[in-house]
Amino acid sequence: MEDIARTVRFGSDYHCTLELPLTNTRSCNTGAPTDTALAVNFQGRTVVYKLEGTAIKISDNGGSTYRNLTDPNVIVEYLRFYVLGTDKPPDAAQPYVMVVIKGHMGNKPTTQSEFTIETLLTQRRLDI
């Protein structure tokens, strides 16, 4: 979660879903099943987060290659990105991303730890 938060706060040009081109801004506020990916311009490159199977994956090169962001013992069942305010100024709205993650850790039902994380992240650079 910390990696996603840092990228969103210090990044720009948020793009929800994997619909090309990833460099164009795109809001999504419905939590549709396609909203399981987020692309962000961060330090001159496009960083992409997505749910693949039961793992959150990250790409530092615009989606060409991915690596696991979550530990193999963590099972992610639900990931949604709600992105708003991506229109260019003068839209009078600061861009922000709400991230919702649900899942569990542990192999046996008797020792599993379930978790739900919901956080709201905003672009640190003023955009209004």
The average pLDDT across 10-38 equals: 83
In angstroms, the Cα distances linking 106 to 1, 111, 116 are: 19, 6, 15
Q: pLDDT value at position 15? A: 87
Kindly give the pairing relationship between strand 74-84 and strand 67-68. Answer: unpaired
Q: pLDDT value at position 30? A: 76
Lowest mean pLDDT among 4-8, 14-18, 97-101: 14-18
In angstroms, the Cα distances linking 117 to 77, 100, 104 are: 12, 6, 11
The average pLDDT across 88-102 equals: 82
Measuring CA to CA, which residue among 26, 5, 23 is closest to residue 86? 26
Lowest mean pLDDT among 33-42, 78-87, 88-97, 117-126: 88-97
Residue 41: pLDDT over 60: yes
For 28-37, write each residue's pLDDT tens digit: 877 767 778 9
Q: pLDDT value at position 3? A: 93
**Any idea where the domains of the chain sit in the sequence?**
2-122
Residue 125: pLDDT over 80: no
Residue 90: pLDDT over 70: no
Kindly give the pairing relationship between strand 12-16 and strand 55-59. Answer: unpaired
